[in-house]
Amino acid sequence: MGAFPEQEQPPLLRRRSSFRPEEEEEDDEYTDAFGVCFGLFLAIFAIMLVVLCIRRPGTEGMAASPPDYFVAIDAVSGLDPSTDLGRPALDPAFSLTVRVASRSSTRGACVRAGTSVLVSYRGVPLAGGRAPADPELCAGPMGAAEDGSVVARGSGARVPGTQLDALAEDMRRGEALFEVTLAMPYYGQRKVASCWDRVGDAAALRVSCDVSLVDPRRLAGITGFSDLPSAV
């Protein structure tokens, strides 16, 4: 008495039982579509994370395989102890060879356009210049190296007495050790490569510079470094 014969089931019960397989199929299709979209999202996120890890300076270590930079001083003028170093102000010129080499198997390396070059002696700036911009000095991947020429010039450089006496003596002996610094824009910071070279030392192109990342504010006020662009 309390059950309905199959032929007498209420219309509502018959309708729900007849549509249940289609509803389940629609639910399965929705679940599959959601899974595909979520998987694509995770894949895109992973790719973006990998790209950021490669490109950002903090994870590059500056890059998993950062490039090497080298500098050699081929010649110098305006620092002759007998004719120049007795003057109150100096106008030296340094002929430099700058080399960049990539250590990555997939990416090249460049000395970016706008890179500043500063030559100093015992912390006293003597001359400055710019890396060539057209074309940029670039090397291909896998240990490839390229050389470029840069001239750093000084005008009215003043060297304090103690350093000036030491410079004159070192120049007479051919032992003057100069610091050559490359500073290039790098993701809002400055990539700074520092090298210590003597004039005419060909071996300098086999000893890579020390490279670090520096806040631009630390370079403010240093001639040749304060006007670099803020981005790559």
CATH number attached to the domain at 65-219? 2.60.40
Question: What gap in Å lies between CA 12 and CA 123, rounded to an integer?
Answer: 92
Other C-beta atoms closer than 10 Å to the C-beta of 101 total: 20
Regions in the chain scoring below 70 on pLDDT: 1-39, 41, 45-64, 218-232
Q: CA separation (Å) from 216 to 182, 193, 198, 206, 211?
A: 13, 14, 28, 29, 15
Residue 73 backbone dihedrals phi, psi, to 5 degrees: -95, 110
Domain residue spans in the chain? 8-55, 65-219
pLDDT of residue 36: 63
- What amino acid is encoded at 103 in this protein? R
pLDDT of residue 54: 45
Question: What gap in Å lies between CA 210 and CA 94, rounded to an integer?
Answer: 20
